[in-house]
Structure 1
Amino acid sequence: MSSCYFGGVSRRTFLLGTAGVTALSQFPLSPLAQAMSEDRLLSAKPGTGKWIATTCNGCTSFCAKQIYVQDGRALHIRGNEFSKVHGKASCPRQYLSLQELYDPDRVKTPLLRMNPKKGQGIDPVFKPISWEEAISLFADKIMALREKNETHKYVALRGRYSFLSDILIKNFTTVLGSPNAITHSSLCAEADKFGSYYTEGGWEYRQYDIKNTRYVLSFGVDPLSANRQVSYYCSEWGNMLDHAQVAIVDPRFSSSASKADEWLPIIPGQDSALALSLAHQILVNDGWHKAFVGQFIDGVNRFQSGEVVDPLAFNELHTYGLVEWWNLELKDRTPEWAETVCGISAEQIKRIAQKLIAAAPKVQIWRSRGAQMQHRGAYTTIACHALNGLLGAVDNEGGVIQYNSSREDSVPSAKEFVDDLAKKGLKQERIDRVGRLEWPALKSGKSGGGVLTNVVADSILSADPYKPEIVLGYLNNFTFSAPGTQRWEDALKSVPFVVHVTTNISEFSWFSDLILPGSHFMYEKWGVQGSCGNMHSQVSIIQPIIKRLGDTVDDESGIPWLLAKELDKRGFSNPLAYLKSIRDPETQKEPITGDELGLYAAKVVTQPLWDPAKYVDGDKFSGWDEFLQKGVWNSEPYQFRQLWGKMKTKTGRFEFYSETLKSALSKHAEKHNTDVDEVMRICNYQAQGEMAFIPHYEQPYRFGEPAEYPMLFIDHKSRLNREGRSANNQWYQNNLDIDPGAVKHQDVVKINPIDAQQLGLKNGDRVKITSIQGEIACQVSIFEGVRPGTVAKAFGQGHWAYGKVASKVFGQEALGGNNNTILPPAHEHLSGAAAFYGQIGVRIEKMIEG
């Protein structure tokens, strides 16, 4: 790959194909070499640095941080002492950001593709160009769409982001005249939000009162590795174990399972069977929380296995439809039935049910991507969450809590800057097809209200609803992070102009025509983030705490600013007019640079928090300067039981029979002149009639016949994955064995000793893993902590780009295998979530070397 731009420390030249050799003197040293150069080290004096507040964007915990900066270099990291969510606590991943920041393989200047051919192993021949050249080219492409009245053929794909990303992705795209501001949300956890919304009316994540709980039942969640507020749980989990028991339901023995009282190695995809049988057992044992749910009028429990109950005999309080749920589904879902389905013994199910009853209402049922983000997973998520309602754990001490309200504003709207031409483009169908009959994506009860990120590749390939001409990828790598990776490679090959904003040349970059260097979120830009935990919400600042490395800009604000100025020169002034409307709230000054735009936008979004004239509650500041110095605003503590009887469902109550889901499905069906049964059929669910509106058992869809693909594949997250961006540093590779069963510097598949013996495998053997979607190669790790008949593999390795450390041969050969290469591009249609889990059949074969 000698002709590809690559920022390695050892490189003395950049070879640009037949264009010859460009001297290193025209480009800066690598960021690491520049930051740690001898003259700067000599000037450093002990005690001359200071702690500066910022926020970690390495996962969706969004922890407030303080960085120790000395002589312009970031040296040390800790949790922000002013945060009431996590304080100074941190997770193992935070220090990896330093190697990301000073990664010698970072993109340091705009790059233009010189080779028109695209493909893995084909050198793009990237040529360094100026920002002026790059933005001028980008603007020309946009203007060409306007001239053809095809502005809808501009697509913006968002990966990692802050609240300010609306400037570049949502609002700038709107002003251009495209409906296609596509987020990564359906690759994240939309099925998780589905379970909360269609039971209690909140399309959001949850927090957990672990300081007061007595029992935690976790369906696949690994809070010590990969969940919201990992920092907080890492610091508080041990204390919780002094007063609470923990049971982890997971086919894989996770980090959290190693710190639990009980591990339930369930058959993949069968979590709803366990949840429903627990609900059955709780009811027949008179164990529901009567202060929340209600009671039989005469006080006599009529929930008996197999017996129908008269709804008029039960007086419900803050819930709705319990008896209907029992009659339609639960009466036959005994522990004995569940044992044959999910692989957990009836005796263990009964024991867990008794522990939940004894601890209620101070119990917590957690649910993970692994349990929910599977084909037909919508009913798993509401089945699991219904247990919280049954036990009175919703909005209660020791239970499962919604997020506290936070007071930040949004980035100002761009609607008034949309001209007539752009309005025509905005009326076109979105590229991800949301709202079609087969794609309900029922975010917040609205047909097509969600997003279908992974459908975009199929839409591009089939030109349905149309073929995009410009695709902007912002800090994403969907060719690596979305199931069915080959589709994304083929799709991007076919797009005339692909722009990628990125810190490192990734797999997505390899198919791009123009690369714009991204800033590191934690250190080099303005932004705002929000998070919640420990009974508080927080809003924290991201700020440029060091001088940006290389020739980069504040990408969420600087790139739209430069592009708007260039479009203004071409007679399209609306984008620049919009950006200039985002003024400093203290002085009303218009921005004159992209950096000022980022600063002013951050101040506008957070003004309700730091401006004394706008104070409502939570932390109070004297002004912007104090807020910037402390870096975080905290809400008031959560007030329990504020939602009892006032939930945002159709009934105002916690819904076991979901009138809210019934309404959403009915409206979607009416939109397409059909009925709910047809919606369920076309979306490949089994439910018909009223079953569609209650938590019920849906048989997991199996990908691959057992005879050909006998094992089930478990995709999971490593404790060291910072949104998949950490693989290109040595600290990551040197510490991979922090995960149970993992091996340093290797990409491993974990196999139970029983299966390994049958397959004739031993530790270190190279194997090929094949599914109906594709195949990958990696190394065997024999590990008792994985259910027999399954294999487990962490996501994160398998890069063939991203840098010298992440790949075996940069641009050509991967280090291990990418899980998403073998995951089918399936979806959970009701929520819109991509399906990474469930019953994905694979075949394991030993590779003969040589």
Structure 2
Amino acid sequence: MRIKRRDFLKLSAIAGAAALSGCAGSDSGMNALASGKGGGGKIGEGPGEWRPTTCQGCTTWCPAEVFVQDGRAVKVQGNRHSKQNDGKVCPRGHLSLQQVYDPDRLKVPMKRTNPNKGRGVDPMFVPISWDEALNTIADKMMELRNAKEPEKFCLMRGRYTYMRDVIYDVLPKVFGSPNNISHSSTCAEAEKFGSFYTEGYWDYRDYDLSNSKYILIWGCDPVASNRMIPATIKRLGDALDRATVAAVDPRLTTSAAKASEWLPLIPGTDGALALAMAHVILSDGGWNKEFVGDFKDGVNRFKPGRKVNETDFVEKETYGLVKWWNLVVKDMTPQKAAKISGVPADQIIRVAKGMAAAAPNVAVWMGPGAAMQARGAYSAMSVHALAGILGSVDNVGGSLQTAKIPANKLDSDLLKKYQDELAKKHSKLEKIDQRGRLELPVIASGKSGGGVSTNNAPNGILNKDPYEIKVLVGYMNNFVFSSNGTDRWERALSSIPFTVHLTTNASEFTMFADIVLPCSVSMYERYGYIKTKANRYAALSLLQPVIKPVWDVIEDETEFPFLLAEKLKERGFSNLYDCLVEMYSDPETGDKPKTSKEMSVFALKYYTKPLWDGEKDTHGDKINGWQEMLSRGMWNSEAYKYKSHWGGKFATETTKFEFYSETLKKALAGHAEKHKVDIDTVMEKSNYTARGELAFVPHHEPSLRHGSKKDFPLLFIDYKSRLNREGRSQNSPWYYEFKHVDPGDVGGQDTLRIHPVDAAKYGIKDGDKVKITSMGGSGECIARVWEGVRPGTVSKSYGQGHWAYGRTATADFGKSATRGVNNNTIIPWELERLSGSNARNGGHAAVRIEKI
């Protein structure tokens, strides 16, 4: 039972042919590089127009511009007004052209006619009208309302714009469900954990690279990923002329290849390495005294293995340094850490002393590789604690928070006004991802269950715990592919009676859907806005249609809720419709939206109004009116002020940077009290080894390994390609043509890098086809024998291995992966339980490699 890709596309195209006769329905019309109808000129040159929008190829979220000729997008660049990316974009921005003009995009609504679900099962999709699709969805949702069980509706989001409020908050809460499940914990919530439980900042950091004298890149490759890519590409070369750059990573990243020091640690040992650096800095007297403080008599008492009297040290902007030293740092010598991490002791000492000499102008860039591990929360704290010792937090050349973006927020009072009693009661029920349970604290921002645990949702769905999910809507997501433990998602989605997928392309998630709705491509065909930061500047950047939609598509975050609200109103439930038209009236005229497209524009105007209405000083760009906002496409803040949180302004329990985290202590105590246990029990159930006060300080946790060393002798390293547009570029031919831009990779294949020592041991040569197997699954790819990975590890780029995508990514649609293996099939299911994060890094993914 298989649906062929060509059959799927043919059905979609035939159904849409009449309605879409004016759209780009032919191969030539869908080719951005084909000859135009008008006067022509070279691509990117006259006649044409640069139109502002935003690239969402990664979470850098760059303000961008698209050059449009003859109604077609033909070239991309950064927004000329942007201080965030200096008017530049990385390769992801250019790859977007092949996404919007992808001939395999969904073109019309489709419905499933085969009730059976599962991988390899043909859904027997047939095209239907928008009216039939929306009526079917409304009927299924009203069944839940009428049965007084609205909590059995679930909304899952992947990537989003900040127009997400409409679909993610208003829709489920007014309907009466607690189940708005974000993708966030698949990305970096454990990374945010590290900065929150030290400096009180639950977000990604900005880094002042222009003024850094030492840059320590830990567990990421900022010229390829991690949220300020164009800015880093521009600045890293200059930084190498005046600063030392060191990279901590088991694989030779692009940044590591350019760095002065490469520290290829054993995966999962980040905490030990960070503590050893702290040990060197403190015992050598190299801490920053302006930020941290000093001994009363100026005599350094931090001696290896010796405790220090807390009263002998007077702290300034920090709290608990001596406690931390006494509990863990005093004993983590470079020699001890070398045995744990595999990084030589002399290199640990050299890097630590180098940072101390450059302090406070040191950027300790902590990425997901250090945090997204089975026990990664404390590794994240340990790495970020180095910034505290060096005084580089909120300081020149260091890690920064962000300037404020004064956009409007969701009117929560108005939302509550339209919640009936059923909605008020049921929207407060437990969520399907089970966050906040004893064994899954998810203490985001200090609150038990305060975050999200996306990859635990399939467990809740499968076990019908706390209840069954009967109607699921997913948008801009593909959790079946993007979360480790893919088999759990396949089984979970197979069990849901009715699923809707809002998407641009049919994907693995789509194959379990009952209704599929074609959606606009972000950056080209939709309205929205994002918030971002880099180079000390915060930015709000608009997304807006720079071309007419290629097909008859809708905007998922705004149009879908409005169109659905109209159908629910027809069935006697008008609350959602009434809420939307009142909440998102035009802020200039007061007009209420009459159509879904009007609501998209009005909502965008509502959220961004403070930036363009001129009523208040925004502490940034001065924009005169809505039309100027549209033409500029963005707003920049003033430069972030250094030391904004010094002087007792950190959002921690002590208002200081915490080496002994009273903030974490309070959060764990609250979770323990909620479940009537002690904190040690919380740590045990959460799969951590720390007990007592160790739970409140950055420390090293032994890596959690899935599989014995005998059966699975190698450790698997997942990394993100600079060509990965949120995992959505695998149907782009350019992705494969230029894949060699990733160090050690080869174009046109799914490459597994293996060190020559290991290759010789297992009889593998460069170019051999190999099978990689873990406790989670197995797959086939091509070996690349390369010195740029640590012996005992193998690395592979995430993104390939689709079994349901377009003609470039797959040939046997809906059945098999023709371009390698999905990393998330190899990485066994696991969670970082304190933050709720996906565990996709560290040492738990053990594998074996066999030549085929």
Q: Tell me, yes or no, whether TM beats 0.5.
A: yes
**Equivalent position of 1:346 in the other structure:** 345
Report the CA distance between 1:542 and its aligned residue.
0.5
Aligned equivalents of 2:175 and 2:711: distance in 1? 50
Counterpart Cα distance in 2 of 1:479 and 1:247: 36
The structure-2 alpha-carbon separation of the partners of 1:38 and 1:687, relative to structure 1 and needing over 3 Å to count, comes to closer
Residue equivalent to 1:281: 280
**Does the alignment pair 1:43 with 2:38?**
yes
> Could you tell me which amino acid in structure 2 is paired with residue 479 of structure 1?
V
What is the CA–CA distance in structure 2 between the aligned matches of 1:761 and 1:45, rounded to whole Å?
52
Counterpart position of 1:629: 631
* Residue identity matched to 1:85: Q
1:737 is aligned, of 735, 740, 759, to: 740
Distance 1:715 1:502 in 2: 26
Contact 2:716 2:847 in 1 (8 A): no
Q: Which residue of 1 aligns with 2:783?
A: 780
- 1 CA distance for matches of 2:811 and 2:150? 40
Paired AA for residue 449 in structure 1 = G
Query: SS of the residue aligned with 2:776?
Result: coil
Q: Once structures 1 and 2 are overlaid, which stretch shifts more, 108-117 or 145-154?
A: 108-117
- 1:14 maps to 2:18: no
**Letter of the structure 1 residue corresponding to residue 530 of structure 2:** Q
Distance 1:382 1:107 in 2: 44
Structure 1: distance between partners of 2:687 and 2:38 = 66
Alignment of 1:358-507 (within 5 A): 358-413=357-412, 414-507=415-508
Q: What amino acid is aligned across from residue 339 of structure 1 in structure 2? A: A
Shift of residue 42, structure 1, vs aligned partner = 2.6
Shift of 1:356: 0.8
Report if the CA contact (8 A) 2:205-2:400 is conserved: yes
Deviation of 1:277 (Å): 0.3
CA distance in 1 between counterparts of 2:503 and 2:212 reads 42
Partner of 2:64: 65
Q: How much does 1:165 deviate? A: 1.4
Change (3 A) 1:31 1:422: farther
Distance 2:813 2:639 in 1: 49
The equivalent residue for 1:599 is: 601
CA distance in 2, matches of 1:810, 1:244: 50
Flag the 1:137–1:33 CA change in 2: closer, same or farther, 3 A.
farther
1:694 to 694, 697, 702: 697
Quick one: distance in 1 between partners of 2:221 and 2:848?
26
**Kept in 2: contact 1:362–1:398 (CA 8 A):** yes
Q: Partner of 2:526 in structure 1?
A: 525
The match for 1:823 is 827
| 8 Å contact kept, 2:318–2:656 | yes
Task: Name the CA distance, whole Å, in 2 between partners of 1:711 and 1:660.
Answer: 37
In 2: Cα distance, 1:380 partner to 1:38 partner: 47
**For residue 199 of structure 1, what is the aligned residue in structure 2?**
198
Q: Which amino acid aligns with 2:798?
A: F
Contact 1:278 1:350 survives alignment (8 Å) = yes
Deviation of 1:841 after TM superposition, in Å, equals 4.4
Alignment partner of 1:132 is 2:167:
no
Identity over the aligned pairs, expressed in percent?
49
Residues 1:580 and 2:584 are matched in the alignment: no
Residue 621 (structure 2) aligns with: 619
- How far is the alpha carbon of 1:131 from its aligned partner? 0.5
Deviations 1:222-245 (A, max 9, x none): 001111011111122111211111
Does the aligned pair in 1 maintain the 2:32–2:73 contact within 8 Å?
A: no
Change (3 A) 1:361 1:36: closer
Q: How many Å apart are 1:37 and its aligned residue? A: 10
Answer yes or no: is 1:750 the counterpart of 2:753.
Answer: yes
Q: Does 1:563 align with 2:560?
A: no
Q: Is the 1:776–1:817 contact (alpha carbons within 8 Å) kept by the matching residues of 2?
A: yes
C-alpha distance after superposition, 1:360-384 (max 9, x if no partner): 0001111111110001111000100
Matching residue within 664, 671, 677 for 2:674: 671
Report the counterpart of residue 108 of structure 1 in structure 2. Answer: 107
Contact 1:277 1:349 in 2 (8 A): yes
Q: Do the aligned residues in 2 keep the contact of 1:801 with 1:810 (CA within 8 Å)? A: yes
Distance 2:330 2:245 in 1: 27
3-state SS of paired residue (1:825): coil
Return the alpha-carbon distance in structure 2 between the equivalents of residues 709 and 550 of structure 1. Answer: 48
Counterparts of residues 321-360 of structure 1 (less than 5 Å): 321-360=320-359
> Which secondary structure does the structure 1 equivalent of 2:797 belong to?
strand
AA matched with 1:468: I
How far 1:602 sits from its partner (Å)?
A: 0.7
Query: Retained in 1: the 8 A contact 2:772–2:847?
Result: yes
Tell me, what secondary structure is at the counterpart of 1:840?
coil
1:641-667 deviation per Cα after TM superposition (whole angstroms, max 9, x unaligned):
121122111111100000110111111
Give the conservation status (yes or no) of the 8 Å contact 1:373–1:836.
yes
CA contact (8 A) 1:5 1:14 kept: no
Aligned residue in 1 for 2:254: 255
Report the 3-state secondary structure (helix = DSSP H, G, I; strand = E; otherwise coil) of the residue aligned with 2:93. coil
The offset of 1:412, in angstroms, is 3.4
Alignment CA distance shift 1:15-1:30 (3 Å): closer
User: Paired residue for 1:304?
Assistant: 303
Q: Give the conservation status (yes or no) of the 8 Å contact 1:160–1:476.
A: yes
- Tell me if the contact between 2:12 and 2:107 (Cα under 8 Å) persists in the aligned partners: no
Matched-pair contact (CA < 8 Å) for 2:5–2:806:
no
**1:542 correspondence with 2:543:** yes
Matched, 1:119 2:118: yes
Look up the equivalent residue of 2:11 and give its one-letter code. F
Q: Which residue of 2 aligns with 1:241?
A: 240
Once residues 38 and 539 of structure 1 are traced to their aligned partners in structure 2, the CA distance between those partners, rounded to angstroms, is 31
Q: 1:314 to 1:73 in 2, by over 3 A?
A: same
- Equivalent pair of 2:16/2:108 in contact (CA under 8 Å): no
- Tell me if the contact between 1:3 and 1:15 (Cα under 8 Å) persists in the aligned partners: no
**Aligned-pair distance for 1:763?**
1.5
What TM-score do the two structures reach when normalised by structure 1? 0.97
Residue 816 of structure 2 is matched in structure 1 by 813
Q: Distance in 1 between matches of 2:713 and 2:3?
A: 44
Cα deviation for residue 844 of structure 1 reads 3.2
Measured after TM superposition, the shift of residue 87 of structure 1 is 2.1
* Distance change >3 Å, CA 113–CA 5, structure 1 → 2: farther
Separation in 1, partners of 2:473, 2:6? 22
Q: How far off its partner does 1:842 sit?
A: 3.5
CA distance in 2, matches of 1:95, 1:542: 16
For 1:551, what is the secondary structure of its paired residue? coil
In structure 2, the partner of 1:643 is 645
Question: Cα distance 1:813–1:838, how it changes in 2: closer, same or farther (>3 A)?
Answer: same
Matched residue, 2:801? 798
CA distance in 2, matches of 1:261, 1:602: 46
Tell me what 1:840 maps to: 844
Could you tell me which residue of structure 2 aligns to residue 515 of structure 1? 516
Q: Answer yes or no: is the 8 Å Cα contact 1:32–1:103 preserved in 2.
A: no
CA distance in 2: counterparts of 1:576 and 1:133, whole angstroms: 19
Residues 5 and 788 from structure 1, CA distance in 2 versus in 1: closer, same or farther, beyond 3 angstroms?
A: closer
Q: Distance in 1 between matches of 2:59 and 2:784?
A: 29
The answer to whether the 8 A contact 1:411-1:601 is kept is no
Query: Which whole-Å CA distance do the structure 2 matches of 1:277 and 1:31 have between them?
Result: 61
What letter matches 1:43 in structure 2? G
- Structure 1 unmatched runs, 5+: none
Counterpart of 1:156, as a letter, is: L
Which sits farther off after the overlay, 83-92 or 602-611?
83-92
Q: Return 5+ residue gaps in structure 2 as ranges.
A: none
Count of aligned pairs? 841
After superposition, give the CA deviation of every residue in 1:151-179 in whole Å (9 maximum; x if it has no partner). Answer: 00000000011000110122111111000
Letter in 2 for 1:41: G
| Whole-angstrom distance in 1 between the partners of 2:54 and 2:617 | 23
Is the deviation greater in 609-618 or in 207-216? 609-618
Q: Secondary structure at the match of 1:33?
A: coil
- Aligned partner letter, 1:526: Y
**Counterpart code for 2:663:** T
Q: In the alignment, what sits opposite 1:214?
A: 213
Cα separation, 2, equivalents of 1:15 and 1:343: 55
Q: Map Cα deviations across residues 567-620 of structure 1 (whole Å, 9 max, x no partner).
A: 111110011101101111100110111111110111111111111113332111
Indicate if the aligned counterparts of 2:705 and 2:846 stay in contact, CA closer than 8 A.
no
Give the secondary structure class of the aligned counterpart of 2:558: helix
How far apart in 1 are the matches of 2:337 and 2:728? 39
